[in-house]
A and B are shown apart, each in its own frame.
Chain A
Amino acid sequence: MAHRGGERDFQTSARRMGTSLLFQLSVHERELDLVFLDHSYAKPWSAHPDASSARPTRMLFVTPRRQHESSIESDVPIDVETVTSTPVPLYDNQKARSVMNECERHVIFARTDADAPPPPEDWEEHVNRTGWTMAQNKLFNKILKALQSDRLARLANEGACNEPVLRRVAVDKCARRVRQALASVSWDTKLIQWLHTTLVETLSLPMLAAYLDALQTLKGKIPTLIDRMLVSSNTKTGAAGAEALSLLLKRPWDPAVGVLSHNKPSKLPGSPLILIASSGPSSSVFPTSRRHRFWQSQLSCLGKVIPVATHLLNNGSGVGVLQCLEHMIGAVRSKVLEIHSHFPHKPIILIGWNTGALVACHVSVMEYVTAVVCLGFPLLTVDGPRGDVDDPLLDMKTPVLFVIGQNSLQCHPEAMEDFREKIRAENSLVVVGGADDNLRISKAKKKSEGLTQSMVDRCIQDEIVDFLTGVLTRADGHMGSEPRDQDAEKKKKPRDVARRDLAFEVPERGSRPASPAAKLPASPSGSEDLSSVSSSPTSSPKTKVTTVTSAQKCSQIGSSQLLKRHMQRTEAVLTHKQAQATGGKPVTVTLGQASAGARESTGLLTSTKSGAPEGVISGSPAPSVVSSSSAPSALHTLQSRLVATPPGNSLPGAPSASSLLQGLSFSLQDISSKTSGLPANPAPGPAPQATSVKLPTPMQSLGAITTGTSTIVRTIPVATTLSSLGATPGGKPTAIHQLLTNGGLAKLASSLPGLAQISNQASGLKVPTTITLTLRGQPSRITTLSPMGSGTAPSEEPTSQVLPSSSQRLPPAP
């Protein structure tokens, strides 16, 4: 196994040293390379003696433990003068400073009365508080305090060499405090609108700029709530002011914007297909996190990305954890098989986050893939670390890269080394200093090292590229050369799809039926739309459909059988519910199943003998409380949908209601992603009824799938429409999630917000309404241009706008 020593490694490092500023950071690596420079035959000094397949660990941003001299001799001269030169920031400082002051420059947009003189510096004394209620006073003071601290941080950091990063950290902090304050009044619409107007009218310009910075940051996280807050002022300022303000608030600025967009990562050799295994069944309760979506778009710079989402059929009711897992693995597996059959020479790379990483590993044991990348590997389970003698993961033969956070709860660098010793597959490990399970670095780390998450992410990506390039170039020998024509295909296809959907959607928007479920069957083109959806594997329906069809086709014993059985059962459960109309009863039934299944699945994934009692205990009781409260409304929607579905419609084997829903969600997304100039094309392109029909033209469909960002954007909101699944799923994914990720306690925390959200929804906020609202604002956002480089996160931004994030109705993160 060729180590990264030798010629290639030296070349890559030299290339990166020249091109990537970020490379400066990884001092450790350079030391290694210098040794190789002179002694290319040598084993790396950090090579593990017992594990020939484990490459030396690479450290990113891990601060070396300082060697403390035991004592300082008194005669060592003390230098009180020389200032240690501060390292040059790794980003384009000038550009960073310019984006940093965006809000200050454009602060005037926010003013409702631009002609009035700005409030004086001693504005505080002029604030007329007469007639304010206690709540108003309290809220105002809280915000004021947050802004004052922010002001202090700004002034104190002024002129610092890494001022943009420090400012970013300070603004994030201020935004958090503002959010806390607003959450303390439960985002009471009247109150927050009053607050916004008052602040805009009274704050001095520098303070107002700080306030806008905070809004800008929050807008990225909780767009709908912020929009609601701004509504009143927008009506006052008029369209121009509102437009300008929304432009300004469009997305939070990032200090590293210049560097990252200038040094774009290049495509991987051999044009591999990157399959992203999801880390759980998709549902509205756990929409794909922004971070995962962001990474999805980042990875699309390297090659074609195909996210494999797992959808629980029939909204997941009655699915045990074991089945769900089987389902997840099966989905990825059948996707791999499908790609193999269509593109026998395409290298496939599996990438997964956390549980998704595990799924990817397991699939790689069963099917041939070129490489596996595990981001945030959940090594530790309730029964100790993985890697027992009977762990199937030990049989992996696929080259695998583990990227873990130094402070990860589910993983530990030392335990990881032990694990790597036991794997036979060639494997690499990257430890990201000060990062958590999701490879996010802490605030302190950002401050002390002048980093931003985007820079860290890019470095991780560089590591991934480095690893994959090595694997791919070695495997290149027997690769075909078909990528060319396919790229051409890719360019044509997505436009086509978009246009067709647009054409379908335009009349729909005019009427805008109250319930999305109601409108679908009414339209004669409903089935068309549906099939166009299913022809695109990026969107979730396709994934699911392919799962089913190819599973049947290839007659994989395990998962397909399981799937079928499961489908029948879920349908049964559903009809049962339908008959019952409402009630908490079925919920408990399925919950019981879930926890039972959970026990099995832990066995499966952790390869441990006994179950995971802790996980089950913590998992099941909490959901049951919440889901029962949310059951009625969710059940209603479910019901109405089932009734509305025309019988006999749709895809073989797939339950009609859910697929229809997905189709609907897809079309909704298309409204949002349409560009204004596109002509409406009433004639839809070829729209076969089911995937099996579509199979003869696989190239096309693949091209449509994997067009990087835009397609990805579209996939995401699927989860949203599925939110009607409220009833049981409320409990279900929680349990699954917990057990899969194994850190029972750690995950419990993350599952709670989702639960809280369900109950919130039940109490009046209907999901479809939210969607329409956000969509209305969409076109203007598309036409606006951003002063910031748009290279960093092109897809993250729009999705965050479209998707009513689950956390926005919740109190802020602590």
Chain B
Amino acid sequence: MAAEESGDAKAQAALSSAGPSKEMPQKPNYALKFTLVGHTEAVSSVKFSPNGEWLASSSADKLVKIWGVYDGQCEKTLYGHNLEISDVAWSSDSSRLVSASDDKTLKIWDVTSGKCLKTLKGHSNYVFCCNFNPPSNLIISGSFDESVKIWEVKTGKCLKTLSAHSDPVSAVHFNCSGSLIVSGSYDGLCRIWDAASGQCLKTLVEDDNPPVSFVKFSPNGKYILTATLDNTLKLWDYSRGRCLKTYTGHKNEKYCVFASFSVTGGKWIVCGSEDNLVYIWNLQTKEIVQKLQGHTDVVIAAACHPTENIIASAALENDKTIKLWMSNC
């Protein structure tokens, strides 16, 4: 149920397929391509599949929807959770999805059949975030019960519980090799774990201790991007425990808003904002290079396509839509 946008967006899409220009572009020119309408409640998360064909979205309407990236059509709807879904994630081969729900469970889905393969039970409170590891034999989840759990995909068993934090866990992520896990929490800590042993290797902490609302490894696993509820994004060199870049200008004090690295064209940082915009910064210079206007509520999620200059953004209950934006650089 996608509404086609005006002609110039199409032209830009055509341009973008010509490939990114050689020298680093100064500014992107993202323009709205599709608006995906379908969820009946606030959307909580959007993720592109690693093969670039699909977009998965989770919502407070207890559903996970899978959309075609290039036509904006809703391909599948996954039913099963009893309560709102906070997060969804793809396996590396794009064949599985995992969703984290307020019903204290995670569900593993088979994308082609749309069936729930496993229900992971064990958390004692809302499950808030989840991710696969690169070989996709493990799932990691963070919960309001303040723990991080590592699950075996094949059996659906919890292999390890990390008593990680003293407040709800807002985000968990594996690095590109799968050897490390990063977790962020409202307690203001950002911890790095050895995936194999479950030992905490490092803790990143700031002086004023603002709640961490999002964390993510950079694509090469060398840096960590953190979002804190003081309107700030930071890029860390975690091996030395030091902050390298700070991105500000957006509004983020209440929600756990997703942020993302955009590396398909210029090197950008993309993040939603509570002023209903999507913000794009230049990764190196920290300047805001573009703001995407269109949503009518808080933009809770923003995701970048793995190979093309496409951004997906999703907004809360006044909006309920997902928007796909394209740029030619």
Judged by DSSP, the binding face of B is: loop
- Pairwise interchain contact A155-B152, C-beta atoms closer than 8 A: yes
Interface Cβ pair total, 8 Å cutoff? 89
A83 cross-chain contacts in B, Cβ below 8 A: 176, 219-221
- Pairwise interchain contact A158-B137, C-beta atoms closer than 8 A: yes
- Let me know if B200 is at the binding interface, CB within 8 A: no
Most A Cβ at <10 Å: residue of B150, B176, B242, B284 = B284
Nearest CB to that of B177 among chain A residues? A160
Given A151-B152, A156-B133: A78 in contact with B235 (beta carbons within 8 A): yes
Given A81-B219, A124-B157: A152 in contact with B283 (beta carbons within 8 A): no
Most B Cβ at <10 Å: residue of A78, A148, A149, A166 = A78
CB distance from A198 to the nearest CB of B (A): 19
For chain B residues 213-237, which have a beta carbon within 8 Å of chain A?
218-223, 235, 237
- Let me know if A121 is at the binding interface, CB within 8 A: yes
- Pairwise interchain contact B135-A159, C-beta atoms closer than 8 A: yes
Given A78-B245, A159-B134: A152 in contact with B223 (beta carbons within 8 A): no
Q: How far is the CA of A72 from the CA of B284 in the complex (A)?
A: 13
Most A Cβ at <10 Å: residue of B152, B176, B235 = B152
- Pairwise interchain contact B154-A159, C-beta atoms closer than 8 A: no
- Let me know if A80 is at the binding interface, CB within 8 A: yes
Nearest CB to that of A154 among chain B residues? B196
Given A83-B220, A124-B157, A156-B178: A149 in contact with B137 (beta carbons within 8 A): no
Given A124-B157, A157-B196: A78 in contact with B135 (beta carbons within 8 A): no
For chain A residues 479-518, which have a beta carbon within 8 Å of chain B?
none
B: interface residue count bin:
35 or more
For chain B residues 256-291, which have a beta carbon within 8 Å of chain A?
261, 263, 267, 283-284
Q: How far is the CA of A82 from the CA of B221 in the complex (A)?
A: 9
Candidates B138, B244, B263; contact of A156 at CB < 8 Å: B138
Candidates B155, B198, B219; contact of A80 at CB < 8 Å: B219
A82 cross-chain contacts in B, Cβ below 8 A: 220
Q: How far is the CA of A77 from the CA of B220 in the complex (A)?
A: 15
Contact digits for A55-87, partner B, Cβ 8 Å, 1 yes 0 no = 000000000000010001001011111111010
Nearest CB to that of A155 among chain B residues? B137
A79 cross-chain contacts in B, Cβ below 8 A: 220, 222
- Let me know if A414 is at the binding interface, CB within 8 A: no
Nearest CB to that of B220 among chain A residues? A83
- Pairwise interchain contact B150-A152, C-beta atoms closer than 8 A: yes
B134 cross-chain contacts in A, Cβ below 8 A: 159
B284 cross-chain contacts in A, Cβ below 8 A: 75, 77-78
CB distance from B64 to the nearest CB of A (A): 24
Q: How far is the CA of A365 from the CA of B51 in the complex (A)?
A: 72
Most A Cβ at <10 Å: residue of B176, B177, B235 = B177
Given A77-B284, A159-B134: A122 in contact with B155 (beta carbons within 8 A): yes
- Pairwise interchain contact A121-B154, C-beta atoms closer than 8 A: yes
B220 cross-chain contacts in A, Cβ below 8 A: 79-84
- Pairwise interchain contact A156-B195, C-beta atoms closer than 8 A: yes
A159 cross-chain contacts in B, Cβ below 8 A: 134-135, 178
- Let me know if B14 is at the binding interface, CB within 8 A: no
For chain A residues 161-187, which have a beta carbon within 8 Å of chain B?
166, 170
- Pairwise interchain contact B263-A81, C-beta atoms closer than 8 A: yes
CB distance from B132 to the nearest CB of A (A): 11
- Let me know if A153 is at the binding interface, CB within 8 A: yes
Q: How far is the CA of A166 from the CA of B179 in the complex (A)?
A: 11
B237 cross-chain contacts in A, Cβ below 8 A: 72
- Pairwise interchain contact A156-B283, C-beta atoms closer than 8 A: no
A sample of 22 inter-chain contacts (CB < 8 A) reads: A72-B242, A75-B284, A78-B235, A79-B222, A80-B263, A83-B176, A83-B220, A83-B221, A121-B154, A149-B197, A149-B198, A152-B152, A152-B159, A152-B195, A153-B197, A155-B133, A155-B135, A155-B159, A156-B178, A156-B196, A157-B196, A160-B179
* A positions within 8 Å CB-CB of B: 68, 72, 75, 77-84, 86, 121-122, 124, 148-149, 151-153, 155-160, 166, 170, 204
Given contacts A80-B222, A152-B198, 5 further A-B contacts (CB under 8 A): A81-B263, A152-B152, A155-B135, A156-B195, A156-B196
* B positions within 8 Å CB-CB of A: 133-135, 137-138, 150, 152, 154-157, 159-160, 176-179, 195-198, 218-223, 235, 237, 240, 242, 244-245, 261, 263, 267, 283-284
